[in-house]
Amino acid sequence: MQALLSLSRAIDRLNAFVGKYSIWLIFASTFISAANAIVRKAFDTSSNAFLEVQWYLFAWSFLIAAGWTLLNREHVRIDVVNSRLPKKVQVWIDIVGFALFLTPLCITILYLSVPVVIQMYQSGEVSGNPGGLIRWPVWVAIPVGITLLMLQGWSELIKRIAFLRGQGPDPMGKLSDKSAEEELAEALRAEAERKQEQALSAAPAAQR
C-alpha cells in the first residue's frame, strides 16, 4: 500500500505543478487577443493565425488542467443524495466511479484520439481558414489532458482505498491550504507515532 501511496503523491505533485502553470496559457491567450485587437484597429490588418492560436492555448489550458481540477475536487458533483449517505458509502461510490467509469472512458478517448493525432502529424493537416495553423499541436492536448485526468483518477482511487484500510486521511474531507501529499504525510506520521507509543506502552507489560 505504501508504494501505491507514493505513486499517488507523485501524481498529485505532477497535476499540482501542471495546474499551477497552466494559468500562463490563459495569460498568453489574453495577451495575443489584446495585441490582435490593437494591430487590427491601428494598422487595419490581422490574421486567422492570431485567432486560432488563442483557441489552441485555451484548449490546452482547459484539457491539461482537468487532472488538477479533480485533485482539488472542483468538478461538478450532484450531492443531493450522495451527501446524505454514510462516509464509507460515499467513498465506495467514488471507487466504483473512478474504476468502472472514469478509467474506461479515458482509455476509450485515448484509443480514439491517438491515431487521429498521429495521422494529423504525418499528413501535416492545416486549418481550412486562410492563414490558419497546422492542426496536430492542438489535438495533442487531448491525449495529454486525458492521460493526466486518468492518472489523477487512479491517485484518488488509491487514496480512497487507503482510507478504507485505515492507512490514509479522509479523501473527501475539507480541503486546507496544505497539499494532499502534505496531509497524507502528516496522517502517516501520526499513525506511525501512535503505533510506536502502543509498542512502548506494551513493552513494560510484556516484561512483567
Q: What is the pLDDT of residue 193?
A: 75
Q: What is the spatial distance between Cα 152 and Cα 75, in angstroms, rounded to a whole number?
A: 13
pLDDT the model gives residue 178:
55
Closest CA to 171 of 80, 42, 72: 72
Q: State the pLDDT at residue 126.
A: 85
CA dist 136 and 59 (Å) reads 13
Extract the C-alpha cell encoding 183.
Answer: 496531509
Is residue 202 in a domain?
no
**Is 40 a domain residue?**
yes
CB 39 within 8 A of CB 94: no
d(CA 19, CA 177): 15
Q: What is the pLDDT, as a whole number, of residue 206?
A: 55
Q: What is the pLDDT along the chain (208 residues), one digit of tens a residue?
A: 778 888 888 998 999 999 888 888 988 888 888 888 888 888 777 777 888 888 889 889 989 999 998 888 877 776 677 777 788 888 888 889 899 999 999 999 999 999 999 998 998 888 877 777 888 988 999 999 999 999 999 999 999 888 888 877 777 766 655 555 555 566 667 777 777 777 777 665 555 5
Which three-class secondary structure state does DSSP give residue 100? helix
Confirm whether 181 is domain-assigned.
no
pTM of the model: 0.74
pLDDT value at residue 102: 92
Residue at 191 is within a domain:
no
Residue 198 falls within a domain, yes or no? Answer: no
Using CA of residue 198, residue 203, residue 206, residue 208, what is the dihedral sign?
negative
Determine how many CB atoms are found less than 10 A away from the CB of residue 4: 16
pLDDT value for 182: 58
Q: Which domain holds residue 70?
A: 2-171
- For the chain, what is the domain count? 1
Give the whole-angstrom CA distance, residue 105 versus residue 60: 19
64 domain residue, yes or no: yes
In a domain, 86, yes or no: yes
Domain assignment of residue 203, yes or no: no
Helix (H), strand (E) at residue 57: helix 48-64
Closest to 148 in 3D by CA, of 26, 27, 61, 76: 61
